[in-house]
């Protein structure tokens, strides 16, 4: 059972904490007793989030400025996290960007930017935090995507980064399992966060299309993703490592062929 004491005395490090999936997940870890060290690039939203959670878990949320593309920034965040209780138990590699672009629309700069945040960032964070996780017997949860399992139209760099994130997860899982570290990934489908809201605002008909093709008939709430991350990091998942868990309302169960019910 997971309750308000499950993560008592544990330190959870979350990247991309100030918005969407990161924010919802940090909140659930705080409700389960953890100290959460939350890093984000956006200092304004980090301040807002810190104010929001101050009433929920006084003194247990520790904000830190973090750019996952910058080695010095990662080192400083790690120092900060270690300073909280002298340990790190969970790393949630969640920071990500998803700019639109097919291959012909993706120049070198855009490609590098997506790889730097979505893939290199998670790799560097993992490499930096692994020694602490080996000591604590901790775990990593990576935010991949259904776009790393199958491809999304017009997201060449994002699809490639999330696909690589999935095999990075497996690689870390097999290399560090015998040293007591579990590594898993979540693969969300569409989740109602600012990242997705931005796309929905530009193309309002998109929401109806999502509702039609998602077998459960709707976009997910961030809390529905957060609860799975907390589960994967908890003792309930003690024998799960290297798993890529879709949280997609059935999207990846579909083979892509048209549904006769919706063909006019």
Specify the residue, 208 or 235, whose C-beta has the smaller distance to ligand NAD.
208
The sign one gets for the Cα dihedral 230, 235, 237, 243 is: positive
User: What's the closest the beta carbon of residue 180 comes to ligand NAD, in angstroms?
Assistant: 26
Active site residues: 158
The DSSP code sequence of the chain is ---TTTTTT-EEEEESTTSHHHHHHHHHHHHTT-EEEEEES-HHHHHHHHHHHHTTSTTTEEEEE--TT-HHHHHHHHHHHHHHHS---EEEE-------B-GGG--HHHHHHHHIIIIIHHHHHHHHHHHHHHHHT-EEEEE--GGGTSPPTTBHHHHHHHHHHHHHHHHHHHHHGGGT-EEEEEEE--B-SHHHHHHHHH-THHHHHHHHHSTTSSPBPHHHHHHHHHHHHSGGGTT--S-EEEESTTGGG--SPPPGGG--
User: What's the closest the beta carbon of residue 189 comes to ligand NAD, in angstroms?
Assistant: 6
User: What's the closest the beta carbon of residue 44 comes to ligand NAD, in angstroms?
Assistant: 9
Contacting positions for ligand NAD (CB under 6 A): 15-16, 18-22, 39-42, 45, 66-69, 94-98, 117, 121, 143, 145, 188, 190-191, 193-196
Place of tokens 């965040």: 77
Query: How remote is the C-alpha of 58 from its chain's centroid?
Result: 24
User: What's the closest the beta carbon of residue 104 comes to ligand NAD, in angstroms?
Assistant: 22
Alpha carbons 206 and 52: distance in angstroms, whole number: 30
Specify the residue, 138 or 246, whose C-beta has the smaller distance to ligand NAD.
246
Specify the residue, 73 or 82, whose C-beta has the smaller distance to ligand NAD.
73
User: What's the closest the beta carbon of residue 30 comes to ligand NAD, in angstroms?
Assistant: 17
User: What's the closest the beta carbon of residue 63 comes to ligand NAD, in angstroms?
Assistant: 12
Alpha carbons 253 and 210: distance in angstroms, whole number: 15
């Amino acid at each position: 059972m997971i309750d308000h004491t499950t993560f008592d005395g544990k330190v959870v490090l979350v990247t991309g904490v100030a918005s969407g999936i990161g924010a919802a997940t940090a909140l659930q870890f705080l409700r389960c007793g953890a100290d959460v060290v939350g890093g984000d690039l956006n200092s304004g939203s980090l301040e807002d989030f810190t104010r929001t959670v101050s009433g929920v878990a006084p003194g247990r949320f520790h904000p830190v400025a973090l750019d996952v593309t910058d080695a010095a920034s990662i080192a400083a965040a790690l120092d900060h996290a270690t300073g909280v209780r002298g340990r790190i138990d969970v790393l949630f590699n969640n920071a990500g960007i998803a700019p639109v672009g097919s291959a012909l629309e993706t120049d070198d700069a855009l490609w590098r930017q997506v790889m730097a945040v979505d893939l290199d960032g998670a790799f560097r964070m993992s490499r930096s935090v692994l020694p602490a996780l080996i000591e604590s017997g901790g775990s990593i949860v990576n935010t991949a995507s259904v776009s790393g399992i199958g491809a999304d139209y017009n997201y060449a760099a994002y699809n490639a980064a999330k696909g690589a994130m999935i095999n990075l997860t497996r690689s870390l899982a097999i290399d560090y399992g015998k040293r007591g570290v579990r590594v898993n990934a979540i693969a969300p489908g569409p989740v109602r966060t600012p990242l997705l809201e931005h796309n929905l605002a530009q193309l309002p008909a998109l929401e109806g299309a999502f509702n039609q093709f998602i077998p459960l008939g709707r976009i997910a709430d961030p809390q529905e993703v957060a609860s799975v991350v907390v589960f994967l990091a908890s003792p309930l998942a003690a024998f799960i490592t290297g798993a890529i868990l879709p949280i997609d309302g059935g999207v990846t169960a579909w083979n892509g062929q048209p549904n006769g019910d919706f063909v006019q």
